[in-house]
């Protein structure tokens, strides 16, 4: 007969770990609102640069508007990428996350979600206003946030892989752009094209489907690549 052992404490569920990491990252960000607002200001400023550089030709601005807003959003999302793991790396909590009993890809997914909520979502919300300033057609005011939501999510997922690869490197910041931007090309192409198509009155379903499919692929594969990259960077 086996001796009576005290019952084991219940294991934390996967969802608890995911939500705990998400909550922690959001709380940390709330304590430094500047970090959240910076990408947003950057987005607005870059979108302002183009009309000033090119001149107030309404026809031309309408034509380049979708592309400009998309490029500005990509750069703004890129701006905050290198800090995704930086704070945790510096104070050592990243090693605690690596030692956690929770699966690392899930933790990484939570951190990616936090990054998107803080850097992607604000851009999505503001983008119709920027689109209006370029005098885009009403249909593209819908297409812009929809494509940006899917596109910035994909960008966060891919970008976090690169952030994990470069965490702790001195020259990480400039390197990050070189690593992420070529990989983000399909998202940019389809995002900006779809908004242009919407502006000229065409359907946007094909582009949105593609962006959705790309985002699904990224959700499926990127957390595993990020987890592998984090382990490599921290051994």
Interacting residue with another protein among 87, 181, 212, 219 (CB under 8 A): 181
Q: How many CA atoms lie within 13 A of 79 on its CB side?
A: 21
Nearer to another protein, 118 or 146 (CB): 146
**Does 120 engage in binding with another protein (CB under 8 A)?**
no
Residue placing its CB nearer to another protein in the complex, 131 or 157: 157
What residues from 140 to 159 belong to the interface with another protein (CB under 8 A)?
158
Shortest Å, Cβ 230 to another protein: 10
CB of 140 to another protein, least distance (A): 16
Q: In terms of CB distance, is 114 or 192 closer to another protein?
A: 192
| Contact flag: residue 171 with another protein (CB under 8 A) | yes
d(CA 142, CA 1): 68
Given candidates 190, 198, 199, 215, which one binds another protein under the rule CB under 8 A? 190
Q: Residues 5-44: x/- map of binding to another protein (CB under 8 A)?
A: ----------------------------------------
Among 178, 175, 195, 198, smallest CA distance to 187 is for 195
3-state SS string for 160-216: HHHHHHHCCCCCHHHHHHHHHHHHHHHHHHHHHHHHHHHHCCCCCHHHHHHHHHHHH
CA dihedral 107, 111, 113, 115 (to 10 degrees): -170
Listed residue (154, 150, 141) closest to 195, CA to CA = 141
Is 165 a binding residue for another protein by CB under 8 A? The answer is: yes
Q: Which of 61, 179, 199, 204 binds another protein (CB under 8 A)?
A: 179
Told to check if 201 binds another protein by CB under 8 A, we report: no
What's the token pair of residue 59?
A: 């026809």
- Name residues whose C-beta falls within 8 Å of residue 119's C-beta, 6 or more positions apart in sequence: 36, 39, 76, 77, 79, 80, 152, 156
Running DSSP on this structure, what letter comes out for residue 118? I
Q: What is the binding site for another protein (CB under 8 A)?
A: 158, 161-162, 165-166, 169-172, 175, 178-179, 181-183, 185-186, 189-190, 193, 197, 210, 214, 221-222, 225, 228-229, 232-233, 235
């Amino acid at each position: 007969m086996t001796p009576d052992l005290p019952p084991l404490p219940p294991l934390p569920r996967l969802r608890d770990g995911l939500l705990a990491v998400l909550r922690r990252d959001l709380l940390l960000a709330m304590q430094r609102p500047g970090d959240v607002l910076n990408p947003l200001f950057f987005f607005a400023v870059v979108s302002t640069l183009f009309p000033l550089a090119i001149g107030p030709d309404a026809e031309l601005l309408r034509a380049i508007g979708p592309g400009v807003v998309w490029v500005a959003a990509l750069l703004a999302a890129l701006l905050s990428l290198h800090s995704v793991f930086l704070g945790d790396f510096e104070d050592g909590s990243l090693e605690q996350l690596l030692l956690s009993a929770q699966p690392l890809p899930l933790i990484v997914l939570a951190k990616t979600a936090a990054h998107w909520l803080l850097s992607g979502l604000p851009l999505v919300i503001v983008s119709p206003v920027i689109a209006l300033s370029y005098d885009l057609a009403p249909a593209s005011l819908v297409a812009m946030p929809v494509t940006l939501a899917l596109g910035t999510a994909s960008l966060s997922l891919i970008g976090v892989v690169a952030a994990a690869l470069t965490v702790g490197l001195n020259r990480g910041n400039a390197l990050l752009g070189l690593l992420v931007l070529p990989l983000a090309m399909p998202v940019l192409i389809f995002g900006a094209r779809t908004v242009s198509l919407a502006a000229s009155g065409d359907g946007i379903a094909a582009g949105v489907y593609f962006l959705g499919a790309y985002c699904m692929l990224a959700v499926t594969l990127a957390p595993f690549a990020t987890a592998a990259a984090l382990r490599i960077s921290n051994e």
